[in-house]
Amino acid sequence: MRSIICLAAAIASITTLGTVPAASASTERWTQPPSPPQGMRELDGEWIYVEDLTEGRALEQLGPPMSSKFSFRVEDGAIVLVSGHGSGHRDVRVPLDGSITEMAGTRQGDDSTTRYRAQWSDGTLATETDFVRSPGGEPEGLIRREFRPTADGLVVRVTTERNPSGSVGLYRHAEDIPMPTPAPAAIGDLTWLAGAWVGTRSSGSSVEERWSPPLGGAMLGVSRTVNTSGKMVGFEYLRIIERDGGLVYIAQPGGATPTEFVLSDLASEGGSRRATFDNPRHDYPKRIVYELSADGALSATIGFTKGGTPRRFDFKAESGEP
């Protein structure tokens, strides 16, 4: 990855663009090219959050300036917001002439309207999104986004009325994000994870993970969450397998398509054990950490590979388990 100095230069060039005109401004300030301008095709495809470039933030404040994953499709004279732009489960085609594109709410009884507009200028796509919650109501706050392709990836800057200084992040296509170097390990190194583990979330819901003993180069697991009414509200199929001298954690929340995380670190200190699995190409989580304390308590933490506020789940061995 190039130095942050290069990225800072890219960010600085974004700030020279000035403020995108408000939704109520005249469209005379906007121009529409006859076809996608040079460089705009680089916006095509799916983008994954890599790191927070906002200056002056504490480690726990780091995070993506918008969705951790979003997609564009470039067309003649327009940008199509495919996903991750707050447009729901539908594509939104926004012309580059500054005209407003309005989309009604997607749910029955939802009278809200979302307004979009876009412009390509000086190598940067600038978009505006505004929300009107009820017919005839006033907009509830403009979101301005700037997307600038660079040699290091896509630099994204987001400003709002509440945060006029903005947040800045770096995104890349998944294939351009390097995977971590696998830590050497065998499935027997995770014997301490085997067993039935139960815990209670802050909402009062119970959560459990059950892991089989290591056998045949693999451990199998299943997770289940049950709310206070006794209804299952979530489940997940889990595997840890040996591969190429290391371990791979495979998660299928709700039985979905498998997502793999590579064991990047295996640590033992005193009576505690810790296993860290990473996948920087995934939107969220990018990191999963299991840790067994010296007193026999297990925690599972999910989050970004750097900064933010990870989500932590605490377990104890189910009665009758070692």
Where is the domain boundary, 143, 176, 209?
176
The tens-digit pLDDT sequence of the chain (322 residues) is: 434 334 344 434 444 333 434 444 334 445 555 567 778 999 999 999 999 999 999 999 999 999 999 999 999 999 999 999 887 768 999 999 989 998 887 555 567 788 999 999 999 999 999 987 766 666 678 999 999 999 999 999 999 988 999 999 999 999 999 999 999 999 999 999 999 999 999 899 999 999 999 999 999 999 999 999 999 999 999 999 999 999 999 999 999 999 999 999 999 998 899 999 999 999 999 999 999 999 999 999 999 999 999 999 999 999 754 4
Clarify whether residues 167 and 55 are in a common domain: yes
Clarify whether residues 137 and 230 are in a common domain: no
Where is the domain boundary, 152, 176, 200?
176
Clarify whether residues 285 and 168 are in a common domain: no
Neighbouring C-beta atoms of residue 53, cutoff 10 Å: 21
Q: Is the distance from CB of 281 to CB of 292 less than 8 angstroms?
A: no
Clarify whether residues 214 and 165 are in a common domain: no
Clarify whether residues 211 and 141 are in a common domain: no
SS3 per residue for the chain: CCCHHHHHHHHHHHHCCCCCCCCCCCHHHCCCCCCCCCCHHHHCEEEEEEEECCCCCCHHHCCCCCCCEEEEEEECCEEEEEECCCCCCCCEEEECCCCCEEEECCCCCCCCEEEEEEEEECCEEEEEEEEECCCCCCCCCCEEEEEEEECCEEEEEEEECCCCCCEEEEEECHHHCCCCCCCCCCHHHHHHHCEEEEEECCCCCEEEEEECCCECCEEEEEEEEECCCCCEEEEEEEEEEEECCEEEEEEEECCCCCEEEEEEEEEEECCEEEEEEECCCCCCCCEEEEEECCCCCEEEEEECCCCCCCEEEEEEECCCCC
- Domain that includes residue 156, residue range: 4-176
In a domain, 322, yes or no: no
Clarify whether residues 166 and 290 are in a common domain: no
Where is the domain boundary, 149, 176, 203?
176
Predicted pLDDT of residue 133: 72
pLDDT tens digit sequence for 2-21 = 343 343 444 344 443 334 34
pLDDT tens digit sequence for 65-103 = 999 999 999 999 999 999 998 877 689 999 999 899 988
Clarify whether residues 15 and 84 are in a common domain: yes
Clarify whether residues 224 and 98 are in a common domain: no
Clarify whether residues 13 and 161 are in a common domain: yes
Clarify whether residues 131 and 212 are in a common domain: no
The CATH code of the domain that includes 205 is 2.40.128.20
In a domain, 181, yes or no: no
Q: Between vectors from CA 59 to CA 292 and to CA 275, what angle results, nearest 5°? A: 20
